[in-house]
Structure 1
Amino acid sequence: MPRPPAPGLQGAVAVAQEQRYGEIVTLIWYNNVPHPKLVEYKKDQHWVQRSGDYLVFPGGGTQFKQGVTSYIHFIEQILPIIEWGRRTRVILDVGCGVASFGGYLLDKNVITMSFAPKDEHEAQIQFALERGIPAFLSVIGTQRLTFPDNVFDLIHCARCRVHWDANGGKPLLELNRILRPGGFFVWSATPVYRDNTRDQTVWNAMVLLTDSICWKMVVKSIDATGIGVVIYQKPVSNFCYEQRKVNNPPLCVQKDGPNISWYAPLDSCLPPLPNRSGKEYKWPIAWPERLRTGISSVPQELNRIYAEEKYDDDMKHWETLVSEAYSHDLGISWSSIRNVMDMNAGFGGFAAALINQPLWVMNVVPVHGPDTLPIIFNRGLIGIYHDWCEAFNTYPRTYDLLHSSFLFGNLTQRCNIIEVVAEMDRILRPGKWVVIQDTTEMIRKMHPILQSLHYETTLYKQQFLVGKKDFWRPDNKESTL
């Protein structure tokens, strides 16, 4: 086992004998995330343990009595149609803790977007990102999650402490909004398998709520350790909604124009499901063929905006660019890259071109640009909406590579570009890279800003600016941006 050269922040995303996309990292430097509270609080549940200079993640959890791998196998055993990594590719894990559920699904070709709030345990999302698992800070409160409608194949909650029936059931209605028609909600919590008054009250409320939104309970089972799991399935057509005796919650009134979930309040209604000439919604083709799926398989309103030829050209463009330039000419050590962010993702072509690399990509779709995020999810990739004039919901030093393709021109009309670069510097790990593809004029503006932060910079064909972040920190005598 390697030893750290000295106490303090380490540049590597994590320490492990091997770093492959399908192998979860279970060992990280303690000094990168020096938070022992969760170690102490959850010591009997094996979430995370301290071992000298390291934090170790053995794959335990409150609901994972025999380990998370056994739990994942149990879910597929009681509902084989889930087919991890073939039918079920894109997952949302609500209240994920240290994200072991999503992490251990990586070796099954499942990509999980994990999220949790910052709470009294401290830094659970930071633990997840340090391990190289996709995660971000968020909470289901009063606003929508920053995802499109009907995109996740499966949503998971293992004792995630969300009161699904609160506020008229709005939290569960939000899951319904983003869950793909025919998709599954896996709920593992005490109301499923305990019969005390408190838990049964919650369970009875859940029964009423799921019935009212036409979710079908497809299986309810208890594993060998006594942990119960219930799995619901969302309908694939509007037939059940229209046949309800009580129209509560009501169907949402469809509005024209963009419907990006950004500072949007939670709905108290059910969005009608996509309807293609009276036919039921079709599940995406299996992974990995799904990655190359054209836009013909996304909702009709997107088909009217984006031509298939434009999508195909974009896919070919990124395959060529990554193969000929990014992989060899930009001076990036790809073997040390795990967490990647594409700040202006488009159709997700950059992420798709990197799919065989041992890394994952957070595809960010700016809220003031074209809404391509449903296409990204439909390809079996993950992403999120964001406005780069604001901070991103992550801890400092959590990404290994930030990629930006023609992002900054629109931003300069609304905010100071220096503030955007400062945010990029905040979330980039020391010793890692930022790659900016932009106009010659914009590259000239960005170059001195990166140099002022002591980045090692190189130009490629006057079109790409590559910056490598140093371990430099300004002292009190130096001016900062």
Structure 2
Amino acid sequence: MASGKSVTRIDIRRTSPSYCSTPTIVIFVALCLVGIWMFSSTIVVPEEISLQDAKSETKDQVPGVDSQPSGDNLGDNNGNTIVDEPNRETSMDEEKLEKTGEKLGEKTHEEPLKENEEVLTELENKTPDFGDLKQTNEGGETNKERRDTDTIGENSKKKKVEEIEDMKGLKPKDILPDGAQLELLNMTSTQKGSWSTQDAESEKEKELQASSSPESQIIYSWKLCNVTAGTDYIPCLDNEKAIKKLRSTKHYEHRERHCPEESPTCLVPLPEGYKRPIKWPKSRDKIWYSNVPHTKLVDYKGHQNWLKISGEYLTFPGGGTQFKHGALHYIDVIQESQTDIAWGKRSRLALDVGCGVASFGGYLFERDVLTMSFAPKDEHEAQVQFALERGIPAISAVMGTKRLPFPSKVFDVIHCARCRVPWHIEGGMLLLELNRLLRPGGYFVWSATPVYQKLPEDVEIWNAMFALTKSMCWKMVNKTKDKVNRVGLAIFRKPTDNKCYEKRVIQNPPLCQDSDDPDAAWNIPLQACIHKLPTDPAIRGTQWPEQWPQRLEKTPYWMSSSQIGVYGKPAPEDFIADYEHWKRVVRNSYINGMGIDWSTIRNVMDMKTVYGGFAAALREMKVWVMNIVPINSPDTLPIIYERGLFGLYHDWCESFSTYPRTYDLLHADHLFSNLKRRCKLLPVIVEVDRILRPEGKLIIRDNVETINEVESVVKSLQWKVRMTYSKDKEGLLFVQKTMWRPTV
């Protein structure tokens, strides 16, 4: 039978009567088979339009809503432009529509399952073929219910188009005419440049090189990493060789990223007795001790209500150094001290500096606030690992000599409880980094001993801090005492314009040079200066975003129709099209079509996001999404923050700053094919294995050559292939990590 027909047709053919002998029955059976064939063609796998020669595609037409790219055009380290893929058509005429489903690509959803009858049975029961995903129309009917009501002809074709449009992935945009420029907002100094096409032959040569990569033919022999960090290995933070060569550690250089020259390809072992993590929201209060078997923090902070050992669990009472009587009380005290903070409405995004076990961020979820928590690795043993195991966002990072990997003017509130950061030294360099990140009109909440204690050292620090904040034009709007927790709070507000800066008699800290891009954040040294605030009302930072949740769907006011978005449309249309696309894909495929038990999913990462549409589409799920904008992609991270989501910049040719086994689901949309142009693919997959929890899921949308390479590697890691789909040169791979580790 022709590849591409639905599973339903296969089953029916196998159970067709074999005793038909009379002409009447033969005719009847023939009509039934014709009807079944006509029905099955309405629920086929969506066709992925063939790749076109970019030379012939210099059209000015704007692609439709469902024809957005999965990738983007990338600039290399020299600022040159690399086109993600050749252009391809974005519409289907009736002739192409009739051919849809006649022939699947090189691989079907069923192919890899022939090797594993158990997976095949489970897939047939739980995760139907892409062309048979359950969809509901406006009247509440499902595909199955429409079998008896659909008529062959124009109505059938119309429904067929709707199903294909809902199911298909983003398409690469129409290639811009030669010389066209990408006018993206807020591109960093390392990312600015034109977005134009490359010669089609050059692009074909790249694809040929990628498809002939020897990695797809390697027989893998896996070994466990033999490192001091053991089960907690983070390659760029545990590079002992590089750390030993440091000339100084006074600025916490030893806690900063020092990536190995060769990315590791060994596997991190599991802790002894590792168990499937406890589900959210129970995980906020307790986790398995065997999953994070560390006790130093219990000994050091147990009396301060951070965490305790209770049998086979580590429990988190919800306290901390500054909120021993509970984080929720402390959170409410902050809002009572400054009602304009308005948790979950005006203030949606918070940054927690020196987060401990991140109970502050964990309980802010109840106030509809998303918190980015960070702390150095090993400063207090495994604090970030505890946070992630609990299901609370956190990264390992330090305020040392470089900027944090976030754009400027994005956090509504920045919080620091008892953090022993010397804000006032070296010209206030570290506090000025927070000033870069804080949204104009945003608040800095500081609850540390200098605020409320009168010891000589505390008084000295308070006086220096007060002088520094005044010179930065921060206004102290409140200083109060929490009588229950017996701690004090000082709340400062960043200005919304440059008037105060201009009136300063002493320009200290000085204003930054105009050439200093405040959004440049990857490996950029810290500087003790203040960035001017924007004055043009059409520029980001002059207005506060819409209140949550309206800001999630609201197009940022500074995205102008005169600007071209990542996918080639006017920026506002680009933004909306991306969101509509991902809502359909998430609803029809990821939530309702793949058999994923979403109650087991809490920590999610979109490894290559554009506008955050994937994360926005998951809003109703009990998950949080770390949105990653690769360093050589268009800088859309400010847009993601504007809509009340968060993320950071990263180079996937290096290790990510998180502990092993910290994410439940990773999503990669045309990431790996782009990375192959810059670095080896194998270490990237090994990094995915490192940060994904056992039984965690990976969804990849990419070209067929890349899908084949990744599938070959993950199969050697004994991962379960849950679904594959390919058509022409595009494909999808859905796999699940197992508990397997190589023997020592």
Q: TM-score, normalised by structure 2?
A: 0.61
CA contact (8 A) 1:296 1:303 kept: no
- Within 5 Å, give how 1:370-385 maps onto structure 2: 370-385=634-649
Task: Name the SS for the 1:286 alignment partner.
Answer: coil
CA contact (8 A) 2:406 2:519 kept: no
* Distance 1:301-1:234 versus aligned 2 partners, 3 A rule: farther
Distance apart, 1:293 and its partner CA: 1.7
- Give yes or no for the alignment of 1:291 onto 2:552: yes
Equivalence for 2:692: 428
1:8 partner amino acid? G
- Give yes or no for the alignment of 1:51 onto 2:310: yes
Measure, in 2, the Cα distance between the counterparts of 1:141 and 1:24.
32
Distance apart, 1:67 and its partner CA: 1.5
- Give yes or no for the alignment of 1:80 onto 2:339: yes
CA contact (8 A) 1:140 1:171 kept: yes
2:546 partner amino acid? I
RCO higher in structure (CA 8 A, sep ≥6):
2
* Distance 1:156-1:398 versus aligned 2 partners, 3 A rule: same
Among candidates 239, 252, 275, match of residue 535 of structure 2: 275
Count of residue pairs brought into register by the alignment: 464
Residue-by-residue CA offset, 1:36-60 (whole Å, 9 max, x unaligned): 1111111211100000000000011
Measure, in 2, the Cα distance between the counterparts of 1:426 and 1:274.
41
- Within 5 Å, give how 1:26-105 maps onto structure 2: 26-105=285-364
Task: Name the SS for the 1:42 alignment partner.
Answer: helix
- Give yes or no for the alignment of 1:159 onto 2:418: yes
- Give yes or no for the alignment of 1:468 onto 2:732: no
Mean CA deviation greater in 244-253 or 464-473: 244-253
- Give yes or no for the alignment of 1:320 onto 2:591: no
Residue-by-residue CA offset, 1:315-355 (whole Å, 9 max, x unaligned): 11100111111112223221100000000011000000000
Distance apart, 1:460 and its partner CA: 3.8
* Distance 1:471-1:460 versus aligned 2 partners, 3 A rule: same
Measure, in 1, the Cα distance between the counterparts of 2:283 and 2:660.
22
Mean CA deviation greater in 383-392 or 220-229: 220-229
Measure, in 2, the Cα distance between the counterparts of 1:183 and 1:405.
33
Among candidates 617, 620, 628, match of residue 353 of structure 1: 617
- Within 5 Å, give how 1:356-367 maps onto structure 2: 356-367=620-631
CA contact (8 A) 2:450 2:459 kept: yes
Residue-by-residue CA offset, 1:153-201 (whole Å, 9 max, x unaligned): 0000001111101221100000000000000000000000011210011
Distance apart, 1:461 and its partner CA: 3.0
Measure, in 2, the Cα distance between the counterparts of 1:233 and 1:453.
51
Equivalence for 2:704: 440
- Give yes or no for the alignment of 1:333 onto 2:333: no
Equivalence for 2:238: none
Residue-by-residue CA offset, 1:211-252 (whole Å, 9 max, x unaligned): 111000000000114210000000001111111111111111
Equivalence for 2:428: 169
Measure, in 2, the Cα distance between the counterparts of 1:141 and 1:371.
24
Among candidates 648, 658, 667, match of residue 394 of structure 1: 658
Mean CA deviation greater in 46-55 or 240-249: 240-249
Residue-by-residue CA offset, 1:55-79 (whole Å, 9 max, x unaligned): 0000111111322111111111111
Equivalence for 1:479: none
RMSD: 2.0
Among candidates 351, 366, 370, match of residue 107 of structure 1: 366
Measure, in 1, the Cα distance between the counterparts of 2:690 and 2:611.
26
Measure, in 1, the Cα distance between the counterparts of 2:561 and 2:573.
17
* Distance 1:454-1:69 versus aligned 2 partners, 3 A rule: same
Residue-by-residue CA offset, 1:240-288 (whole Å, 9 max, x unaligned): 1111111111111222889430000012211111222599821111000
Equivalence for 1:369: 633
Task: Name the SS for the 2:625 alignment partner.
Answer: strand
Equivalence for 1:3: none
Measure, in 2, the Cα distance between the counterparts of 1:64 and 1:251.
37
Task: Name the SS for the 1:330 alignment partner.
Answer: coil
- Give yes or no for the alignment of 1:413 onto 2:677: yes
Mean CA deviation greater in 98-107 or 289-298: 289-298
Distance apart, 1:473 and its partner CA: 0.5
Name the structure where strand makes up a greater proportion of residues.
1
- Give yes or no for the alignment of 1:455 onto 2:719: yes
Measure, in 1, the Cα distance between the counterparts of 2:524 and 2:517.
14
Among candidates 148, 153, 174, match of residue 407 of structure 2: 148
Measure, in 2, the Cα distance between the counterparts of 1:104 and 1:297.
32
- Give yes or no for the alignment of 1:137 onto 2:396: yes
- Within 5 Å, give how 1:180-199 maps onto structure 2: 180-199=439-458
CA contact (8 A) 2:556 2:643 kept: no
Measure, in 2, the Cα distance between the counterparts of 1:57 and 1:151.
30
1:285 partner amino acid? E
Mean CA deviation greater in 270-279 or 117-126: 270-279
Equivalence for 2:274: 9
CA contact (8 A) 2:411 2:438 kept: yes
CA contact (8 A) 1:284 1:297 kept: no
Task: Name the SS for the 1:58 alignment partner.
Answer: coil
Distance apart, 1:11 and its partner CA: 2.0
Measure, in 2, the Cα distance between the counterparts of 1:75 and 1:397.
34
Measure, in 2, the Cα distance between the counterparts of 1:154 and 1:259.
18
Measure, in 2, the Cα distance between the counterparts of 1:369 and 1:146.
14
2:535 partner amino acid? N
1:235 partner amino acid? P
Equivalence for 2:464: 205
Equivalence for 2:667: 403
Equivalence for 2:481: 222
Query: Which aligned segments of 4 or more residues in structure 1 are displaced greater than 4 angstroms?
Result: 256-259, 277-280, 300-306
CA contact (8 A) 1:24 1:103 kept: no
Gaps of 5+ in 1: 1-5, 477-481
Measure, in 2, the Cα distance between the counterparts of 1:259 and 1:151.
10
Larger radius of gyration: 2
Distance apart, 1:120 and its partner CA: 4.5
* Distance 1:278-1:380 versus aligned 2 partners, 3 A rule: closer
Measure, in 2, the Cα distance between the counterparts of 1:282 and 1:38.
42
1:231 partner amino acid? I
Measure, in 2, the Cα distance between the counterparts of 1:120 and 1:394.
14
Residue-by-residue CA offset, 1:373-392 (whole Å, 9 max, x unaligned): 00000000010100000000
1:93 partner amino acid? D
CA contact (8 A) 2:305 2:324 kept: no
Q: TM-score, normalised by structure 1?
A: 0.93
Residue-by-residue CA offset, 1:114-162 (whole Å, 9 max, x unaligned): 0001235310000000000000000101000000000000000001111
- Within 5 Å, give how 1:10-25 maps onto structure 2: 10-12=275-277, 14=278, 19-20=280-281, 25=284
Measure, in 2, the Cα distance between the counterparts of 1:191 and 1:388.
40
Equivalence for 2:523: 263
Equivalence for 1:236: 496
Task: Name the SS for the 2:284 alignment partner.
Answer: coil
Task: Name the SS for the 2:678 alignment partner.
Answer: coil
CA contact (8 A) 2:338 2:478 kept: yes
CA contact (8 A) 2:407 2:518 kept: no
Residue-by-residue CA offset, 1:353-382 (whole Å, 9 max, x unaligned): 000000100001100111010000000001
* Distance 1:199-1:351 versus aligned 2 partners, 3 A rule: same
Residue-by-residue CA offset, 1:403-432 (whole Å, 9 max, x unaligned): 000111221111110000000000000011
Task: Name the SS for the 2:501 alignment partner.
Answer: helix
